């Protein structure tokens, strides 16, 4: 259960990150796939992460502190076609700098359940594999298709991405997948804390 959630800080391309915690989970996906809505849904705070109907709203790395013990990090969306080349390059550098920092322990990669992965999605996934970043795939906007097809379509999107055919169907509108995602988040947190304990013994 997430009993407490607060915005901690934002960091730009040269900005300082907050002091690290044993568990840091980042959220990545193309613009307008629903990253901020997912954060608000999981934390039961619909004002925590700013949402917008306009893609490309998140232009910084935003850190949220949950239960005073772990960070949930909202990363800039990629693949926003209307952004200038300079802006796209800046967002790419911002994303890459964070992912190469060694801070992230797990990553929730969001994909749209209704559509095949974009070239940007495929590139992002290849990046995660190359840098060996643990991940969970989340297929958002599950309320847009028939409930009976959600699991099948979510797994199909994962397979198209080149991943094992499993993704968690999720909707911030209906709350579908919320309990499953919270369980996943709890499991990741426990694993991180165990790794921290083991390292202290060495």
Mean pLDDT estimate for the chain? 90
> Highest mean pLDDT: which of 12-21, 73-82, 177-186?
177-186
- Total count of domains within the chain: 1
CA angle (142 as vertex; 116, 115 as ends), nearest 5: 10
User: Tell me, what's the pLDDT at 58?
Assistant: 53
Please spell the DSSP secondary structure of 61-112, one letter per residue: EEEEEETTTEEEEEPPPB--TTS-HHHHHHHHHHHHHHHTTT--SEEEEEEE
| pTM listed for this prediction | 0.91
Distance CA 62, CA 69 (A): 16
Task: Give residue-wise pLDDT tens across range 67-93.
Answer: 999 999 999 888 765 667 777 777 778
Residue 51 has pLDDT above 90, yes or no: no
- Structural domain harbouring 120: 5-201
Average pLDDT over residues 124-133: 90
Given a cut of 70, whether residue 164 has pLDDT beyond it is yes
Domain CATH for 100 = 3.40.50.300
- Between CA 38 and CA 143 the distance in angstroms is 13
Residue 55 has pLDDT above 60, yes or no: no
Determine how many CB atoms are found less than 10 A away from the CB of residue 164. Answer: 10
């Amino acid at each position: 259960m997430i009993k407490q959630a607060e915005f901690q800080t934002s960091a730009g391309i040269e900005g300082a990150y907050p002091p690290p915690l044993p568990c840091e989970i980042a959220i990545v996906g193309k613009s307008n796939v629903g990253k901020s809505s997912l954060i608000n849904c999981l934390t039961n705070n619909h004002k925590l992460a700013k949402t917008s109907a306009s893609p490309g709203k998140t232009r910084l790395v935003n850190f949220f502190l949950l239960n005073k013990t772990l960070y949930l990090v909202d990363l800039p969306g990629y693949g926003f076609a209307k952004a200038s080349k300079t802006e796209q390059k800046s967002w790419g550098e911002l994303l890459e700098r964070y992912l190469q920092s060694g801070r992230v322990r797990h990553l929730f990669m969001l994909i749209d359940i209704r559509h095949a992965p974009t070239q940007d999605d495929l590139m992002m996934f290849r990046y995660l594999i190359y840098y060996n970043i643990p991940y969970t795939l989340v297929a958002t906007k599950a309320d847009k298709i028939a409930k009976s097809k959600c699991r099948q379509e979510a797994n199909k999107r994962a397979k198209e991405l080149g991943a094992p055919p499993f993704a968690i169907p999720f909707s911030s509108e209906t709350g579908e997948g919320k309990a499953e995602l919270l369980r996943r988040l709890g499991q990741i947190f426990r694993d991180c804390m165990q790794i921290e304990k083991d390292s202290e013994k060495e």
